[in-house]
Amino acid sequence: MNDAFVLLLAAFTGYEIISRVPALLHTPLMSGTNFIHGIILVGSLLVFFTAQGFTAQILAWVGIVLASANVVGGFVTTERMLALFRTGRQVEARDD
């Protein structure tokens, strides 16, 4: 039951923290939240470490591969996009 409260609060948090995001950040933010759900890697590791049957172990192992790709890919793409945003002053500073 405690988990239900956690879920409720997390849902409101998620809604609130991005309610005033400018359109120019929509794509990086989507990519960023795409990285956040890579937390599934924690779950994949957990079930792999506790899996007993052979099939279960194989499935869980494949899950780790997919989840790791989600984490790493999500991070790299988001970071690459965000590294590009600069103000006029920063652009001039870079060109000097």
Of 26-65, binders to another protein (CB under 8 A) are 26-53, 55-56, 59-65
Question: Which is nearer to another protein, 23 or 96 (by Cβ)?
Answer: 23
Q: Per CB under 8 A, does 12 bind another protein? A: yes
Does position 13 interact with another protein (CB under 8 A)? The reply is yes
- Is residue 93 involved in binding another protein (CB under 8 A)? no
| In the complex, least distance from residue 5 CB atom to another protein, rounded to whole angstroms | 10
What character string, x for contact with another protein (CB under 8 A) and - otherwise, covers 69-88? Answer: xxxxxxxxxxxxxxxxxxxx
- CA–CA separation, 51 vs 40, rounded Å? 16
Output the CA–CA distances (angstroms, integers) from residue 59 to 47, 64, 65, 68, in the order listed: 10, 9, 10, 14
CB of 71 to another protein, least distance (A): 6
Q: What is the C-alpha separation between 6 and 74, in angstroms, rounded?
A: 25
| Phi, psi angles (nearest 5°) of residue 90 | -65, -35
Minimum CB separation of residue 22 from another protein in Å reads 7
Q: How far apart, in whole angstroms, are the C-alpha atoms of residue 52 and residue 57?
A: 7
